[in-house]
Structure 1
């Protein structure tokens, strides 16, 4: 019998969950946590430099998310395979879920994928990851708990040759409640270069996870983008985890139990 599975059992599940019973209202998500490629896909025609670069994963994001999980006592759901195999912040029907080009790199392993190829990727990587988030969030809501969804990403400091000066982007889709609270908290804490919908926004198609899990349930949600040269080592990761934890805690305090921002 032909085995059509993309991921071998020895490679483990498509996702990992840390602190599933965490006490915090925050549920953390890291869609681009790993640069690991499923063995079945090999190197996808890329050299080692490309497979280590920001096109394969969000550098530093997973470690910051883990530190946040521990600081806040918050659950964290992370993807365990590279965004090049499947970008879990994109739905299966869009081309960006299987990018055949990412910034300056062509991705030969994603060129000319058939509908069957794409379905195999989505079945192995996208659906298990998002079903794990569904189960965690719905379980908490059914227990009568408040949930605030926070996704953790990083961005490259130079994109198509253009430097990016911002340090932290706070992104939102139609629901800006929590982003507004975080931006106000950043002003109170006098943090520089904390910017709204930077370096991307909803128009760039980057808010799929917020839409699928936050907007559909009408729970407060935000997407964080940290410039990756600030979080390449443990020291930088700890600094930013501490800053973001303080921002999140201050912002949670500005939401009433219904998740509506207090005006006072």
Structure 2
């Protein structure tokens, strides 16, 4: 791996892995809502295909903890703020407020609080947290083919994130020059998301939030998925990894 000099020389950088759209599972209490939504649940709307496998591969190789959401984003999207119009999907947005509050309390808040607690604990223990939020995206959206293989999303106003993302992109190009590596594509790193929310709670020298977006076209076969996970791993610019 390449070396990344920490922003605060007194703090050791550690990696936190999360996966907000890991599964398309719907808890039993809400399955009736999705009785006629099988096609939707098994589409890219219901799950980030391959993201969990990528995250698990990285977690195993780095010997670090992975925190995953346990329900489909179609029940509630843990990568959206509660005020975002798509936090609840078209299937759940018309539910009574009391039911929505139950879903928030059971699935949304525990996930978000678990990630935030890990960050806070490590910041308190004088570590710099590099949070890698693992996602994937559909190769074609609304008829437009996305000319991206790996996207690294970050906030360009936060220098540590910008430097980390640029260094990782450069390293990825050396490892796999055939891949199309883009910064803040196919989405903007400052759009509504979990890392965006966490940036408001932790300063840039203590928290780096990077969303890693992989093209699902590269994740359809186990061999190509494994190759992509290994490419991300060996190119990862990190100084040291500590178990969370």
Pair in the same fold by TM > 0.5: yes
Please report the RMSD computed on the Cα atoms of aligned residues, expressed in angstroms. 2.2
2:233 — aligned with what? 245
Specify which of 86, 89, 95 is matched with residue 99 of structure 1. 89
Q: What are the within-5 Å matches in structure 2 for residues 166-181 of structure 1?
A: 166-173=148-155, 174-175=157-158, 176-181=162-167
Higher RCO structure, 1 or 2 (CA under 8 Å, sep 6+)? 2
1:52 — aligned with what? 42
1:185 — aligned with what? 171
Residues 1:39 and 2:28 aligned together = yes
Contact 1:178 1:221 in 2 (8 A): no
Contact 2:169 2:181 in 1 (8 A): yes
Partner Cα distance (2:50, 2:214) in 1: 9
* Deviations, residues 46-76 of structure 1 (Å, cap 9, x unaligned): 4322211111110010011000001122221
Aligned length: 220
Partner Cα distance (1:70, 1:78) in 2: 14
What TM-score, normalized by structure 1, do the two folds share?
0.76
2:18 — aligned with what? 29
Residues 1:231 and 2:216 aligned together = no
Partner Cα distance (1:165, 1:46) in 2: 33
Which ranges of structure 1 fall in alignment gaps of 5 or more residues? 1-22, 101-108, 256-264
Q: Which moved more, 1:182-191 or 1:222-231?
A: 182-191
Distance change in 2, residues 1:46/1:230 (3 Å)? farther
Partner Cα distance (1:187, 1:242) in 2: 14
Which ranges of structure 2 fall in alignment gaps of 5 or more residues? 1-11
1:18 — aligned with what? none
Distance change in 2, residues 1:191/1:25 (3 Å)? farther
Q: What are the within-5 Å matches in structure 2 for residues 100-179 of structure 1?
A: 100=90, 109-173=91-155, 174-175=157-158, 176-179=162-165
Q: Runs ≥4 in structure 1, deviation > 4 angstroms?
A: none
Q: Secondary structure at the match of 1:220?
A: strand
Q: Secondary structure at the match of 1:40?
A: helix
Per-residue deviation, 1:215: 4.8
What TM-score, normalized by structure 2, do the two folds share?
0.82
